[in-house]
A = this chain, B = another copy of it.
Amino acid sequence: MSNSTNDRKIEHIRVIEEDPDTDRQGDHFASWHLMHRALPEIDYAEVDPGVSFLGKRLSFPLLISSMTGGDHELVLRVNRNLAQAAEATGVAMGVGSQRVMFTHPESCNSFALRQWAPTTVLLGNLGAVQLNYGFGLEEAQSAINIMQADGLFLHLNPLQEAVQPEGDRNFKGLAAKIAALQAELTTPLILKEVGCGMTPADIELGLAAGIRYFDLAGSGGTSWSRIEHHRRGRGDLGLRMQDWGIPTPVALDWARPYQERATFIASGGLRNGLDMIKSVILGGSLCGLAAPLLKPAMESAEAVIAVIEGVKQEFTTAMFLLGVTRVEQLHLNDALLWRR
């Protein structure tokens, strides 16, 4: 099993490369429109898309979403390129699941990213369900330590586990274990889905467990059900379930009542600066992109930077056209969106 945990990440990348439909292209943001200002009454040069997150300043509210890690040349390269780009562009970066660290100690190199990203926000990642399979404070702390992480994602992936032949599917009593873990840690935990979205009942459980950060990671983009379908080999379960979940803008909308009690990250199917700006208006404090950054990350840090700069320019241009100079003016500002 330990080996499979390490190899799985490479398999995932290959599947994504070969089957473009693992990105579901739900385009769920298309039904929200932005309110143009012909007379924005601001100077583009004054538009500042910067935000603070976990006490650090980011150049704009982008998170390179959790993707990979492990003991493979490709994975090392991807993570280094992403970390260098994150530092260069001033955005946050998450890593893929660090579970592999505990079976393949050599994989630690792929997570030791502070050398490449000394100042920006770095976020660790473990599967929440592992708390039911022997993981606890020690593993969480190690995962944080190796990255000198500013926060630790605990991902919730019940669909992926259900489709994986080798899936860990006991999600019982997790909320209590998450509460216990957060109580013992000084670093904040961030609960995240991986592409099916979180719903009000989930958020309420998280809040009761002392969680203050949620990455809604909704449907419309990367489908883990479809990815695992290819690894599974038999049956249609993964295809049948490939679009299961709550589209990201819908999940944001439903999270509205909890905005005073928690900070939300929007991810899942965001593909450009316009999706990002809609996400921020709908209540996202940070916007995660994963799949669109994978291919450039396999190439070079420069390639990642180029994509990020393009997205940033879209985001900044949209701010300009909305007539706002600060991201705070976007957040939950319904007057900036309209629907037919």
Interface residues of A (CB under 8 A from B): 34-46, 128, 156, 158-159, 161-163, 169-175, 191, 193, 196-199, 201-202, 205-206, 235-237, 240-241, 244-246, 272-274, 310, 313-314, 317-318, 320-321, 323
User: With A44-B170, A162-B44 in contact, is A317–B237 under 8 Å at CB?
Assistant: yes
- Besides A36-B196, A38-B196, 19 more A-B contacts (Cβ < 8 Å) are A36-B199, A37-B202, A38-B158, A39-B156, A39-B191, A39-B198, A39-B202, A40-B158, A41-B171, A41-B173, A44-B169, A45-B169, A46-B172, A163-B317, A196-B321, A201-B323, A235-B310, A240-B273, A244-B274
Whether A36 pairs with B310 at a CB distance below 8 angstroms is no
Q: Determine the distance from Cα of A40 to Cα of B171 in the docked complex, in whole angstroms.
A: 6
Whether A310 pairs with B237 at a CB distance below 8 angstroms is yes
User: With A171-B44, A310-B236 in contact, is A37–B159 under 8 Å at CB?
Assistant: no
Whether A175 pairs with B321 at a CB distance below 8 angstroms is no
Q: How far is the CB of A149 from chain B (nearest CB, A)?
A: 21
Whether B240 pairs with A43 at a CB distance below 8 angstroms is no
Q: Determine the distance from Cα of A320 to Cα of B173 in the docked complex, in whole angstroms.
A: 14
Whether B41 pairs with A172 at a CB distance below 8 angstroms is yes
Closest to A309 in B: B235
Q: How far is the CB of A236 from chain B (nearest CB, A)?
A: 6
Q: Determine the distance from Cα of A249 to Cα of B191 in the docked complex, in whole angstroms.
A: 35
Shortest beta-carbon contacts, A-B, top 3:
A44-B169, A38-B156, A43-B170
Q: How far is the CB of A239 from chain B (nearest CB, A)?
A: 10
Which residues of B have CB within 8 Å of A273? 240
Whether B313 pairs with A158 at a CB distance below 8 angstroms is no
Whether A172 pairs with B237 at a CB distance below 8 angstroms is no
Q: Determine the distance from Cα of A199 to Cα of B170 in the docked complex, in whole angstroms.
A: 42
User: With A174-B41, A310-B236 in contact, is A246–B158 under 8 Å at CB?
Assistant: no
Q: Determine the distance from Cα of A240 to Cα of B307 in the docked complex, in whole angstroms.
A: 13
Which residues of B have CB within 8 Å of A235? 310, 313
Whether A38 pairs with B193 at a CB distance below 8 angstroms is yes
Q: Can you name 6 A-B residue pairings with CB atoms under 8 Å?
A: A34-B244, A36-B159, A39-B201, A237-B317, A241-B274, A244-B318
Which residues of B have CB within 8 Å of A37? 158, 199, 201-202
Whether A39 pairs with B205 at a CB distance below 8 angstroms is yes
Which residues of B have CB within 8 Å of A198? 38-39
